[in-house]
Amino acid sequence: NAGVTQTPKFQVLKTGQSMTLQCAQDMNHNSMYWYRQDPGMGLRLIYYSASEGTTDKGEVPNGYNVSRLNKREFSLRLESAAPSQTSVYFCASSTGLVSPLHFGNGTRLTVT
Amino acid sequence: QKEVEQNSGPLSVPEGAIASLNCTYSDRVSQSFFWYRQYSGKSPELIMSIYSNGDKEDGRFTAQLNKASQYVSLLIRDSQPSDSATYLCAVNSQIQGAQKLVFGQGTRLTINP
């Protein structure tokens, strides 16, 4: 039972490049999330999907897009990476919006 | 005022002592409260959840909830060096018309042998 799987684990981008972070869960959870974590800033919600077919902005959505491909998969896309997007990104899932979150192992992204 | 506040620490506790971590929240109607542990370079993992006023014990961990005072705490008894980590408090809150979990910034705990 893999839980929440994120790929890649590490990525280095140049300013202006694009990339997609992939996330899949095998727990049959309804809700999925993307967070970023920066030193001193805690976990900040980028986007979330309450259920398959819906997506909503979180606290820091600018510069990102998401796709809830199906119930299992939720991807995060950076269209034109900026140094301010250097961070650790976590995908998470839960049965519902106020249920405990289960996190993936994270993606460490550096934008130069 | 931040929705969920924690003392960022670092909090230093001798091995074998009780570590006490505190969290306050601003949404009076919050119903779900969670404590996560995050080791350096790792992802957060859920260690406790609490939904009702009072204490909830799980092994060496006790979560305490006081909705009237809007605080939730985590006690770690017989602290071990392996408990050294950042502890994140998460509380559900109504934001922009939807219920979401809001995280505090975390308290860094160090257990000294």
Give B102-113 pLDDT, tens digit per residue: 899 999 999 999
Residue of A10, A35, A43, A107 to mutate, testing the B interface (most B Cβ within 10 Å of its Cβ): A43
What whole-number distance in Å separates Cα of residue B29 and Cα of residue B67? Answer: 9
Whether the pLDDT of residue B64 is over 90: the answer is: yes
Q: What is the pLDDT of residue B41?
A: 92
- The percent of residues in chain B predicted with pLDDT above 90, rounded, is 81
Cβ pairs bridging A and B (under 8 Å): 47
The reply to whether A104 touches chain B by the CB within 8 Å rule is yes
Find residues 42-101 of chain B whose CB sits inside 8 Å of chain A.
42-46, 49, 88, 90, 92, 98-101
Q: What is the mean pLDDT of chain B?
A: 93
* Run of H or E residues at A109: strand A107-111
The amino acid sitting at A49 is: S
Say whether B101 and A101 touch across the interface (CB within 8 A): yes
Q: What is the pLDDT of residues B20-40, one digit of tens each?
A: 999 999 988 898 999 999 999
- How close A79 comes to chain B (CA, Å)? 25
Say whether A42 and B88 touch across the interface (CB within 8 A): yes
Pair of tokens at residue A51: 């259920």
Q: What is the pLDDT of residues A78-97, one digit of tens each?
A: 999 999 999 999 999 999 87
Cβ(A20)–Cβ(A34) below 8 Å: no
Whether the pLDDT of residue A37 is over 60: the answer is: yes
Quick count: other Cβ atoms within 10 Å of Cβ B99?
Answer: 17
